[in-house]
Amino acid sequence: MESKEMKKTMGAAVALSMVVGCVIGSGVFFKPQAIYTATGGAPGIGILSWIIGGLITLCAGLTVAEIAVVIPKTGGMMVYLEEVFGEKVGYLTGWMQCVLFYPGTAAALAVAFGNQLSEILGHPGWAVGIAIVDIIVVIIINEIGSKAAGLVQTLATIGKVIPLIFIAIFAFIKGSGTNPILTPMVGPGLSTGTVLGSVLIAILFAYEGWINVTPIVGEMKNPGKDLPKAFAGGILIIMAIYLLVNVAYLWVLPADQLKDCSSPAVAVAEVIFGPVGGKIIAAGILISVFGALNGFILSGSRVAYTLGVQKMIPGYKAFGKLNASDVPGNGVLLIGALACIYALTGQFNLLTDLATFTGWVFYVMTFIAVIILRRTKPDIERVYKVPLYPIVPGIAIVGGGFVLINQLFMAGSGPRMVALAGIGITLIGLPIYLIMTRKKAE
């Protein structure tokens, strides 16, 4: 079983659907509440930040595509950072992804799913139970094989875009259009810089998932051609949808009302279509969140598999092999089980902030790795090079760095504690690394 290799079955369509499908999950539906709460009910910085966050993400994707094509191995970011910064950093990347980023984000998505479905059913107390059942269903789908998971991803991507388009079209037709869109920038007494940083951490979660396609590069037919297309095309599509939909929200309800709505999309839909229409849109949200959850468990299991193959995770014999469907079944179970544990908190914003901050620490390191690799290995074959180098990587580094610094030093004690918790959980991987390295040597 350990000698098996995963088959190259995925093309550009699956890669692009993974980018779009993993990103459009819950952020565009639920994060406007957190965004307009941070702005004090003012719309300006909120709308502007959807553009800024999209540009940072676009530069990030175009930058990561270069190193992903140069090192087309299953495992994604941990493999790239190991190549450039050494085994210890690579291991901490994989550890963070396995125990925090992928299961934490999957749990947040499942919590969003549970909250939404429990409201539709009229039983809010069922939210956590529904979230765990949702994760279990996704685990079963991924155990069947990558084709089944890829098909779910493609269908969910199509299904989630339809309700967003309906909201956008009918909001402009039926909405009053009298609410301010770009002014004021922030509420009275608030610092624009601090608010921007707080808003961007929420918006970067809404764009989160773009990197999920990199762990499956080893299963792509032509990564040099298809991966940059998937990043550029997918992120630009998402930017357009996000900007259009968020302007549509404001076309119907003002920002100071959206900050009090736990599900702004449903609130807007109820104004446009009535209670029945609101429930239909809520069903579309469930499809969207389900597809994103599928993508995170699909990608996260590949990272666990890579750590297992490297004999650098407890129980590596189990995690480093493929099941009868040629997928890392035990890796799927690991990410899913941890997601179930995190989902017990029932805290959507806490989980998203924790995963987003910690993920971006390593994203920024990956952007820097592209620059280092250009200098240390200038002659290596690059079938794709990041355009407008070094401007594009520079934008990704500065944008990501600003968000991280804001969370640690400017955004207040709550966000700072979340950031420190993410760093602490990541650093727990150091003693695990030393133990596994010693065992591996023996």
User: What does CATH list as the number for 12-441?
Assistant: 1.20.1740.10
Neighbouring residues of 264: CB distance < 8 A, sequence distance ≥ 6: 29, 30, 32, 33, 249, 253, 258
Q: Which of 358, 394, 370, 360 is nearest to 68 (CA)?
A: 370
Rounded to whole angstroms, what are the CA distances from 331 to 218, 328, 358, 434?
16, 5, 21, 22
**CA-CA-CA-CA torsion sign (38, 44, 50, 54):** negative
Nearest to 365 by CA among 73, 86, 149: 86
pLDDT band at residue 149 under the 50/70/90 scheme: confident
pLDDT at 136: 95
Residue predicted with more confidence, 8 or 63: 63
Phi-psi region of 10 (alpha: psi -120 to 50; beta: other; left: phi over 0): beta
**pLDDT-derived band at 8, boundaries 50, 70, 90:** low
SS3 220: strand
pLDDT per position as a tens digit, 346-389: 999 889 999 999 999 999 999 999 999 999 999 888 888 999 99
Q: What is the DSSP secondary-structure string of 338-373?
A: HHHHHHTT--HHHHHHHHHHHHHHHHHHHHHHHHHH
Instruction: Flag the least confident range among 66-80, 208-222, 345-359, 417-431.
Output: 208-222
Of 18-22, 300-304, 359-363, the one with minimum mean pLDDT is 18-22
Whole-model pTM: value is 0.86
pLDDT in tens, 115-140: 989 988 889 899 999 999 999 999 99
Query: Between 326 and 388, where is the model more confident?
Result: 388
**pLDDT at residue 428 is higher than 90:** yes
pLDDT at 75: 64
Please give the Cα distance from 308 to 301 (Å, whole number).
10
- In 3D space, the residue among 27, 22, 38 whose CA is nearest the CA of residue 246 turns out to be 27
Of 69-78, 211-220, 286-295, the one with minimum mean pLDDT is: 211-220
Instruction: Specify whether the CB–CB gap between 136 and 333 falls below 8 A.
Output: no
Q: Where are the domains of the chain?
A: 12-441
- Give residue 151's pLDDT band: very low, low, confident or very high (50, 70, 90): confident
Among the residue ranges 53-62, 124-133, 281-290, 419-428, the one predicted with the least confidence is 281-290
Secondary structure in 3-state letters for the chain: CCCCCCCCCECHHHHHHHHHHHHCCCHHHHHHHHHHHHCCCCCHHHHHHHHHHHHHHHHHHHHHHHHHHHCCCCCCHHHHHHHHHCHHHHHHHHHHHHHHHHHHHHHHHHHHHHHHHHHHHCCHHHHHHHHHHHHHHHHHHHHHCHHHHHHHHHHHHHHHHHHHHHHHHHHHHHCCCCCCCCCCCCCCCCCHHHHHHHHHHHHHHHCCCHHHHHHHHHHECCHHHHHHHHHHHHHHHHHHHHHHHHHHHHHHCCHHHHCCCCCHHHHHHHHHHHHHHHHHHHHHHHHHHHHHHHHHHHHHHHHHHHHHHCCCCCCHHHHCCCCCCCCCHHHHHHHHHHHHHHHCCCCHHHHHHHHHHHHHHHHHHHHHHHHHHHHHCCCCCCCCCCCCCCHHHHHHHHHHHHHHHHHHHHCCHHHHHHHHHHHHHHHCHHHHHHHHHHHHHC
